[in-house]
Structure 1
Amino acid sequence: MTACGRPGPTTRHGGSRTRHSHTPALPPHGAHGRTASTGVQDVVVNPAHHRQGVGRSLVEHLVRRYSHCRFFLLSTDHESSPEGKRNHAFYRSLGFLSYEEKEMAGFGLPRNRLDLRNAAP
């Protein structure tokens, strides 16, 4: 999702796709000429194309494309999920570290939270 809540662009490569967003927290090119952050979620590769470098190519392309950003966030399922261990090993092979390893914390809202848009003030 982008900063204003619209879906970000989807990159397609062979039998795969990934959704990425560009979320500036600072002015367009920040105080130091760099955008604050960008993020990737759901790098999905068709199982018929696994182990052929498709996912790696997608992620490497996005890392290069958004190299001007100070922070590149990749969100994925927890390591204890059915595909988590394999996914985490893949992202680590590309140089990504978990928040804990970077001595950081990440927060998100619950999946099933109340929709407050139509609630009375």
Structure 2
Amino acid sequence: MAFRLKIMTTALDILLQQAKLQPGKIEAMMPEERRAYNAAAKRASRDRQREALASGKANPSVDVTRELLADIAVMMLASDAPGSETIMAGLQRYFTDRVGYPIKIKNDCRRGKLKTKIIGKVQDAPTRTATDI
């Protein structure tokens, strides 16, 4: 009985390995093929994300959320919106060794040197500023 079970287990292992190595599956690809496949997939993913951002219907992701929050912070600093003090306090706390840097960031936002990435590029971007909200 134990011998039969061992043969069945071995046969199942062989079948699983063969299933993994079927042509067209990622596991069966050589390292160069896999790198090329992953690069093409990432390129297609970035293209889809750019198209979604351009249409104003980006899928929520960590990257899009971070960029959107950064855009909101830039807009708040540029217009002295309520809550911009909290952003300044965070900048001052993080850049403790560079005393004037948070003020420089705020001035860069006001002059338009620090630009938004998502807001403003979207076709249906709101025309209101952060202080109008």
Greater per-residue strand proportion? 1
Q: Which has the larger radius of gyration?
A: 2
TM-score using structure 1 length: 0.29
Higher relative contact order (CA 8 A, sep 6+): 2
Q: Whose helix fraction is larger, Structure 1's or Structure 2's?
A: 2
> What is the TM-score of this pair, normalised by structure 2?
0.27
